[in-house]
Amino acid sequence: MMTWLAVAVGGALGALSRYLLSGWLTGMLGRGFPWGTFGVNLLGCCLIGALYVWLTQELRLTPIWQAVLMAGFTGAFTTFSTFALEALVLLETGRGILATLYVSLSLVLGVAGVALGMKLARTLI
């Protein structure tokens, strides 16, 4: 039961963080491209790479803290369900090239973000 609560608390904070950052990015960069979701996904990928190293390999925190930070916060912070919806909407509204660019860049840069987060975490510890 404690793990569920830990995930819920982390998830609430992650969802709120996603909402605020995504809104800020969209306000700064406009609505022609889903910048908010794109930026949050890339940051979330980098964050989960760093957390993976810090929590499981270096700090070896308890499973509760891993649940709060990885499953809870980062799981709610990243937005791949929203990503999928936005990609489909781009396709359905005749913007196939933009949809392809969005999906491709999210995938490639997301994997690169995880690698970067892991590299940074290993460098800093």
pLDDT tens per residue across span 8-49: 999 999 999 999 999 999 999 999 999 999 999 999 999 999
Give pTM, 2 decimals: 0.81
CA–CA separation, 11 and 37 (whole Å) = 17
Q: Let me know how long the chain is.
A: 125
Q: Given pLDDT bands bounded at 50, 70 and 90, which one contains residue 58?
A: confident
CA–CA separation, 21 and 117 (whole Å) = 19
Residue ranges per domain, the chain?
2-124
Would the annotation count 78 as a binding residue?
Answer: yes
